[in-house]
Structure 1
Amino acid sequence: MTGPIVVINPNSNQAVTDGLSRALEPFRLGGGPAIDCVTLAEGPFGIESQVQSDEVVLPLVALVRRRDDASAFVIACYSDPGIDACRSVAPVPVFGIQESGVLAALARADRIGIVGISSLSERRHRLYMRRMGVLGRVAGERALNMSVDETARGAGTFARLGEVGRALMGDGAEALVLGCAGMAVHRAPLEEALGIPVIDPTQAAVAQALGAVLARRM
Structure 2
Amino acid sequence: MSGSIVVINPNSNQAVTDGLDAALAPFRLEGAPAIECVTLTEGPFGIESQLHSDQVVLPLARLVEARSDAAAFVIACYSDPGIDACRAISPVPVFGIQESGVLAALARADRIGIVAISDASERRHRLYMRRMGVSARIAGERALNMSVDESARGAGTFDRLLEVGGALIGDGAEALVLGCAGLATHRTRLEAALGLPVIDPTQAAVADALGAVLAARL
Using the size of structure 1 for normalisation, the TM-score is 0.99
Q: Please give the secondary structure, in 2, of the residue aligned with 1:183.
A: helix
2:79 is the counterpart of 1:79: yes
| 2:20 aligned residue | 20
What corresponds to 1:8 in structure 2? 8
Equivalent position amino acid for 1:150 in 2: E
Q: Shift in Å at residue 2 of structure 1?
A: 1.6
Q: 1:25, 1:214 → 2: CA distance?
A: 18
State whether structure 2 residue 141 is matched by structure 1 residue 132. Answer: no
Cα drift, residue 96 of structure 1: 0.1
- C-alpha distance in 2, partners of 1:211/1:11? 26
- In structure 2, stretches of 5+ residues that fail to align are none
Q: TM-score, normalised by structure 2?
A: 0.99
In structure 1, give the amino acid aligned to 2:144.
L
Q: State the 1:48 CA deviation.
A: 0.3
Distance (Å, rounded) in 2 between the aligned partners of 1:32 and 1:3: 10
- What pairs with 1:83-122 in structure 2 (closer than 5 Å)? 83-122=83-122
- The residue aligned with 2:53 is 53
What is aligned with 1:193?
A: 193
1:61 CA drift (Å): 0.1
Partner amino acid, structure 2, of 1:42: E
Tell me the SS of whatever aligns to 1:12. Answer: coil
Dislocated runs of 4+, deviation >4 Å: none
CA deviations over 1:50-86 (Å, ceiling 9, x no partner): 0000000000000000000000000000000000000
**SS of match in other structure, 2:48:** coil
Equivalence for 1:208: 208
Cα distance between partner residues in 2 of 1:130 and 1:57: 21
Distance 1:37 1:27 in 2: 12
Alpha-carbon RMSD across the aligned residues, in angstroms, is: 0.5
Flag structure 1 segments of 5+ consecutive residues without an equivalent: none
Aligned length: 218
Q: Does 2:166 match 1:166?
A: yes
Q: Which amino acid aligns with 1:122?
A: E
**In 2, Cα distance between the equivalents of 1:216 and 1:195?**
36
Letter in 2 for 1:146: M
Partner Cα distance (1:19, 1:121) in 2: 21
Is 1:65 matched up with 2:61? no
Structure 1 equivalent of residue 143 of structure 2 = 143
Instruction: Summarize deviations over 1:162-211 as a string: whole Å, max 9, x none.
Output: 00000000000000000000000000000000000000000000000000
- Code of the residue aligned with 1:99 in structure 2: it is E
